[in-house]
Structure 1
Amino acid sequence: MTLCDIFAGMGARRRTVTVYNADPVPELDAYFTDWNVELRFDRLPGDTDEAFVTVRAGGEFLGSVDIEVLTPLLEPGGDRAWDDEPLPPTDAFLRLLDGTTFRTDDRDHLLAVSREFEDRAWRVGDGHLHAGFQRPAAFRTQCDAYARLADRGLDVHLYADGAWDAPGVEGASVTTTTDGELGRYWFVAFDDGDRPDDTSQACALLAEEHQPGSYVGYWTYDPEWVRDLTDYLTETYGE
């Protein structure tokens, strides 16, 4: 396994959401902007006009829901009637998307996700935090932040390709190589230990630089995928 394999695996966790017998909904397209999801609108032949939604992973059918289930997603800030009518079972739809990764090619967005994960690690206050920003020089503006995270009680591991020429980060381990792999990928992964998956705060971002300053990145909150990445880093680059 390599970082390339993990990156490809995260990208392969793509879902296809198909809305049948309904007109395209821009709000739904906007909702899925960052999801690794292909959104389609289609109509079935015949007289039926019943609208519904299906979810597939590759060629595998995962399930379908009534289109009304999507209403809370399209109107997250809408007024509630405060009556006794049950809310549509949106969770049934979102469960069909379990394990889906998120994707962007916007560098600023990737940076914001990195900051979110660092903040999450800070709030939890323990666990293992792995960060690779490709080149040692990229850590120059990050050293104080990661020293604070280490001081907080986190087990911090930093990775880069090339000779380390950034200031030292007290309390953190630093690994450098010249094999090129660490120079191609930007990652931040927080493994919060042995918490049950339903309470886990684990998260990971892995982005590949396709050309200078241009990235495609995926991120996930799936503890299994986070452990795959952190285990690989520990086994490959650990002492």
Structure 2
Amino acid sequence: MTETLQSLVDDLAAQRRTVTVYAADPPADLAERLSDWHVDVRFDRLPPESGDGFITVRQGDRFLGTVPLETVATLFEPTTGVLDAETTETGSLEPLLELLDDTLFQSFERRQLLAATREIEDRAWRHGRGELHAGFQRPAALAAQRAVYERLAESDLDVHVYFDGEWDAPSIAGVTEHSESDGELGEFWFVAFEPDSAARSQTCALLARERDAATYGGFWTYDPNRVSALVSHLRSTYVDA
């Protein structure tokens, strides 16, 4: 069977994880929002004087880690990131994304995907070497992020962008554009960073398909083999075609 972006989502053998929320009171809508990630959600009440809450993530009997509740909340709002402001601090979402990598999510909004995308773009910017591939679905979405990709192109990254339609604005210096009409590029949001071989641990990607009402389902991953499969598909289908 010919590999497609959808087949990469379908082939993900995501194992269900358990997220336990520890807080004095259940945060409004949090359980419902967490249910969009292929996870089981539990709640464990803390005494009122315990302060801020936190979550833990397990896979079977294996404890994967913990993050503050406020970190989870940031996933529902876009983050600034080092590419948008004069700062070099690591984005606060990274610990959460690493705990939930290779876990399917079912219904994310654009602002949630933007927050996760910023973490990957920031990681690529900080490392500054390797390949960055980003799918914008439509030319207008790339135009809205032009300043970000102009800055990314100032590094030693090999930057490729993808969209469905015609790009009628000036090209972005240092960025290679790939387009098609009425194909998979119009349906998927993705960003993949494949660093040079000396920094394999920095590999990461996000792949999501747009559903109705501007919501998305897909996954993010820090698995070098899974990222390589995505980048290989993009190279063979659009870069080297």
Give the TM-score category using the shorter length.
Answer: 0.5 to 0.7
Q: Paired residues, what number? A: 192
8 Å contact kept, 1:143–1:167: no
Q: Is the alpha carbon distance of 1:195 and 1:107 closer, same or farther for their aligned partners in structure 2, counting shifts above 3 Å? A: same
Indicate the SS of the match to 2:123: helix
| Counterpart Cα distance in 1 of 2:113 and 2:225 | 21
1:27-46 alignment runs, 5 A limit = 33=34, 35-39=37-41
Question: Which AA in structure 1 matches 2:6?
Answer: C
Q: Which blocks of at least 5 consecutive residues in structure 1 are unaligned?
A: 20-24, 42-54, 57-62, 77-96
Taking only aligned residues, the RMSD between alpha carbons, in angstroms, comes to 3.6
Equivalent position of 1:143 in the other structure:
146
Cα distance between partner residues in 2 of 1:105 and 1:218: 10
Q: Give the C-alpha shift of residue 194 in structure 1.
A: 1.5
Preserved contact between residue 156 and residue 173 of structure 1 (Cα < 8 Å): yes
In 2, distance between residues paired with 1:100 and 1:190? 15
Q: Which residue of structure 2 lines up, in the alignment, with residue 235 of structure 1?
A: 236
1:121 aligns with 2:124: yes
Larger Rg: 1
Structure 2: 5+ residue runs without aligned partners?
44-57, 71-98
Give the CA deviation at 1:74.
Answer: 8.3
Amino acid at match of 2:193: F
Distance 1:194 1:213, change over 3 A: same
SS in 2 for 1:151: coil
Matching residue of 2:61: 64
* Alignment TM-score, normalising by the size of structure 1: 0.66
CA distance in 1, matches of 2:221, 2:174: 27
Shift of 1:163: 1.2
User: Runs of 4 or more off by more than 4 Å in structure 1?
Assistant: 16-19, 69-76
CA contact (8 A) 1:160 1:183 kept: yes
Q: TM-score, normalised by structure 2?
A: 0.66
Give % identity.
45
Report the AA paired with residue 191 of structure 1.
E
CA distance in 2, matches of 1:231, 1:149: 21
* Pairwise CA distance, 1:167: 3.2
Distance, in Å, in 1 between the alignment partners of 2:103 and 2:17 is: 13
Aligned to 1:208: 209
Task: Choose which of 171, 174, 195 in structure 1 pairs with 2:174.
Answer: 171
